[in-house]
Amino acid sequence: MSSRRVLKVAEAIREVVSMAILTELRDPRVRDVTVTYVEVSGDLRQAKVHVSVMGGEAKQNLTLRGLQNAAGFLQQKVAHRIETRYTPRLTFFLDQGVKHSIEVSRLLSELLPAEHEAGEDTVSEDTVTEDAVNEDAVNEDAVNEDAVTENAFGEDTHGEVAGDEQASHGRTRDEEPSDEEPLDEAERN
């Protein structure tokens, strides 16, 4: 079986089970449940549904028992959604990833203030902001210096586009501006 199809089936099972738990399951033991991911065997006969449950260990165990009792109902919902020869048998497992990430965050928050009090060199937010403003000013000066460049003919363009045939006053690049005033219609005749 292609792994792409297995992943699609796993995602479909995750969607069906999570929506059924949220909207259709009436078991009071099953509350505050999030379906994190689903692992499906290669033959599509087994599906391990990993769930995260908010609450203590007693509540998590109670919720897992409630989900195992509702497995037949949830398998029926999955059978209506996916068309396979066999409906995957659902087994539920507690996902400890969220719990571990909270524990890591707690440990980091305990360690980081201790390092700051020990006299570690830290960068303040004001220093970062001042450095960013100074860097922007340097970049702006570099852009202004690049505005006056020479084109392929050795002429200063002063920000004009090199491929532009018409200057701003309707002259071509070959024509030089004259200091003479334009002639009236009467003087031309």
Residue 153: predicted pLDDT: 52
- Other Cβ atoms within 10 Å of 116 Cβ, number: 9
Structural tokens at position 41: 């065997």
Residue 44: predicted pLDDT: 92
Residue 102: predicted pLDDT: 87
* Spatial separation of the C-alpha atoms in residues 17 and 70, rounded to whole Å: 11
C-beta of residue 148 within 8 angstroms of C-beta of residue 159? yes
Q: Write the pLDDT tens digit of every residue in 15-29.
A: 999 999 999 999 999
Q: Which residues contact 94 (CB under 8 A, 6 or more apart)?
A: 50, 51, 52, 53, 60, 64
Burial of 92 (0-12, 13-18, 19+ CB in 10 A): buried
Residue 148: predicted pLDDT: 47
Q: Which residues contact 155 (CB under 8 A, 6 or more apart)?
A: 173
Q: Write the pLDDT tens digit of every residue in 102-130.
A: 889 999 998 887 665 555 555 554 544 45
Q: What is the mean pLDDT of each run of 10 residues along the chain (189 residues)?
A: 87 96 93 94 95 92 95 95 92 89 90 65 50 50 46 50 45 52 57
